Amino acid sequence: MSKKTGNISKTATNAEVDAFIRKMAMTPASPPSGESGRLIFALDATASREPTWDRACQIQGYMFQEAGSVGGLEIQMAYYRGFGEFRASEWLVDSAQLVRRMTGVFCLGGQTQIAKVLTHAIAEANARKVNAVVFVGDCMEESVDELCRLAGELGILGVPTFVFQEGDEPIAARAFRQIARLTGGAHCGFDSSSANQLRDLLSAVAVFAAGGRRALESFGERAGGEALLIARQVK
């Protein structure tokens, strides 16, 4: 199990972004006709992430706004912190309301609870289709075998998990890559200097879940950068 160090790493490499884009290209094209896309947004809210929490809220708020501009996306926020605390909101379509909820959360020391995130996603997907899970965290302090078992269940249910790792803790990175691979999702690192890159990648996932490839192409042309690269490869 990895330990929280609070270290911040370099920006994601071009190879990491390229791998993320390739994974995006292999995910389902769009939600079924007439149905809204559904995305679970899960966050590590333990103490090690406190220094960058406000910045992350701003980035994630932009993501929700972009997805809301496409329409047809329901978002559920989930987070863990403290001693065994795990919470998930109801499914929301108002991005402003969700951002307000996020800014009302404060970080609290404790161990990771990624298994609860995956278990919750499995339950939600069994109740009704979930198009994607996004997880943002920096550390892993659990049984990697158990996490892989749960990730495998999500993969069977067809729920890709996109893992964004703050920092470069190596044990967490290995676990996150396995979760992404078993679910058909992707793993990408970020730090405080790559805010724009993270913003575009997160927004691309949300727009893709909401409106499929056409919506992603339109967003990519407008946003440029990493989003444009993703849009050009997801055909």
Q: Across the 235 residues of the chain, what is the mean pLDDT of every consecutive 10-residue run?
A: 44 57 56 71 89 71 68 85 95 78 87 98 96 91 97 94 88 95 84 72 79 75 66 52
- The CA–CA distances, whole Å, from 189 to 31, 170, 194, 220 equal 27, 11, 9, 20
What would be the CATH architecture of the domain defined by 36-233?
Answer: 3-Layer(aba) Sandwich (3.40)
Q: Give the pTM.
A: 0.81
| Packing angle, helices 14-25 and 225-233, rounded to 10 | 40
Of 132, 150, 134, nearest to 142 (Cα)? 150
First to last CA, the chain: 39
What is the Cα–Cα distance from 148 to 118, expressed in whole angstroms? Answer: 10
pLDDT confidence of residue 17: 58
pLDDT confidence of residue 178: 95
pLDDT confidence of residue 177: 92
pLDDT confidence of residue 190: 78
pLDDT confidence of residue 72: 66
Read off φ and ψ for residue 18, nearest 5 degrees: -60, -45
* Side-chain half-sphere CA neighbours of 172 within 13 A: 27
